[in-house]
Structure 1
Amino acid sequence: MTTLNIVSLLPSLMNTNGDAENATVLQRRAEWAGLEACVIAVDSPADLPGRVDAVVIGSGSDASLEAVRSKLLTIHDELRTWGTDGIPILSVGTGWELLSWGIERRDGSTVEGLGILPGRAVPRDGRATGDVVVASPRFGLLVGFENHARDYVGAEGSPLGRLRSGTGNGRGSGQEGVVMGAVIGTHLHGPVLAKNPEFADHLLASMAERAGLEYVAGPAAAVADAYAAVARETQLAAVGAAASVTEA
């Protein structure tokens, strides 16, 4: 049977809030569906497998931005090819910002991004923290936690979804995240796929189809989904968000 290879990029540097564990969520749900899957930690091009079925990039500290950018540049061409070929790439927080046009710092300096996603990160007044609820036409109602000191501009035409609660991309946009084909950027920590099984299953269905397989969530997933449902309901109740995507 074909093994689904899930690449976790730089997990030792990019795992704030457990975001690198989105790769483990994909692996477990694939296994529960009777598919073979493995997570491959990649710190350099030499670590890359022969075939990649999904890529996860977590979030890290600002102190590591330059080091992470340098490492990502060594697989810049591969990232562009994966995105063009429709391989799901989930990037969170600073991992997302580094895939953008770039990051503007408060002191006026900049960190050039890889230019894979539209938009750029810019300083905001005050840190955005707290629960976020996003209505996404493609992935359903998403919940998560945001913790960022930058807004995101220049990608208003391709958001992950519309805010029901939280700051998201900021600047009054009412939007959260960005999507370009199969490449996704988001502020949602959690890790986001653990809190949003429908989101994870959408990515897995895409991965399986590309590999000539069929993904159907297995019975074991129902147990994890029940825990996720309780957490989601609690979060939605706390922020008073409507559990609907009809206005997305």
Structure 2
Amino acid sequence: MSTESLRIVWIYPDLLSTYGDRGNALILARRAQLRGMPAEVLEVRSDEKLPTTADIYLIGGGEDGPQALGAQRLIADGGLHRAVAQGSVVFGVCAGYQLLGTSFFAKGARCTGLGLLDISSDRGPIRAVGELAGEVDPRLGIPHLTGFENHGGRTHLGADVSPLARVTAGVGNDGTTEGAWRGKLLGTYSHGPALARNPALADLLLRWATGIHQLPALDDTWAERLRSERRAAVAAAARP
């Protein structure tokens, strides 16, 4: 489809990489390649400068200490802000989602976030662990969200963002909404990894990055089987 390589940056895998979040980079590259789009994944460690001309940036989950350190280094680097200003796509998961906001809590202290999304996060009364599902904002044109969450945070959305989904199982942001998005920036608490369990979400990021509004269809038989199994399991667990 294209001779230009799609550039995908996995940010700080040495700090932020839990619950298979590396799979998000693999899924994006593979789904691009299956459509004839060359794709490369660049892993940028926390002691390296962040390139500013990539198409998609991925930030995974992590523990409190690495999350706080990752935010500090990204703020000092400034590369992600420059990339966003130039129109790049950013996808954050769990800790990576929280640090895209204005503030978050780590090890009992409030930490400054990147301020790229109008969200703030604090601690909830209990840890959210288990299946996470929700009905996605219809403007995004993708089906039901499914994933796995494991976090102690609660995220509050400001007026400048929209929730990714309305929760049907699990906690997400606060038990009512899950994730947030604005423009080409999107965050979620969904692991799984998220893009393996939600291939349409991967394709949304690819459309944003390439400007191609109608991507060729792929055979997602196995992915849809997994999604059906997980939704059935969630429904069964909810029965009295």
TM-score bracket for this pair, using the shorter chain length: 0.7 to 0.9
More helix by share: 1
Contact kept? 1:14, 1:20, Cα under 8 Å: no
1:148 aligns with 2:148: no
1:105: Cα distance to partner?
4.8
Structure 1, unpaired ranges of 5+: 242-248
For residues 37-186 of structure 1, the aligned pairs below 5 Å read 37-43=39-45, 48-49=50-51, 51-76=53-78, 78-105=79-106, 107=108, 109-136=109-136, 137=138, 138=140, 139-155=142-158, 158-170=162-174, 172=175, 174-186=176-188
- Which is worse superposed, 59-68 or 142-151? 59-68
Distance 2:31 2:146 in 1: 19
Counterparts of 2:68 and 2:201, CA distance in 1 = 30
**Aligned residues of 1:146 and 1:189 also touching (Cα < 8 A):** yes
- Report the more deviating stretch, 2-11 or 134-143: 134-143
- Partner of residue 9, structure 1: 11
Aligned-pair identity (%): 34
How many matched pairs? Answer: 230
Aligned to 2:227: 232
Q: Report SS of the residue matched to 1:83.
A: helix
Who is 1:245 aligned against?
A: none
Paired letter, 2:224: A
C-alpha change, 1:74 and 1:128, in structure 2 (3 Å) is same
Distance change in 2, residues 1:27/1:206 (3 Å): same
Aligned to 2:196: 194
Query: In structure 2, what is the equivalent of residue 32 of structure 1?
Result: 34
Structure 2 CA distance, aligned partners of 1:70 and 1:112?
8
Q: 1:56 to 1:50 in 2, by over 3 A?
A: closer
- Report the alpha carbon displacement of residue 70 of structure 1 after superposing the two structures with TM: 2.4
Higher normalized contact order (CA 8 Å, seq sep 6+, divided by chain length) = 1
CA contact under 8 A between 1:121 and 1:152: conserved in structure 2?
yes
TM-score (norm 2): 0.87
Offset from partner CA, 1:189-246 (integer Å, 9 cap, x none) = 011111111111111122222xxx687346xx41xx22211111111112229xxxxx
Task: Call closer, same or farther: CA 1:95–1:3 in 2, change over 3 Å.
Answer: same
Partners of 1:202 and 1:123 in 2: how far apart?
Answer: 30
SS at structure 2 position matched to 1:66? helix
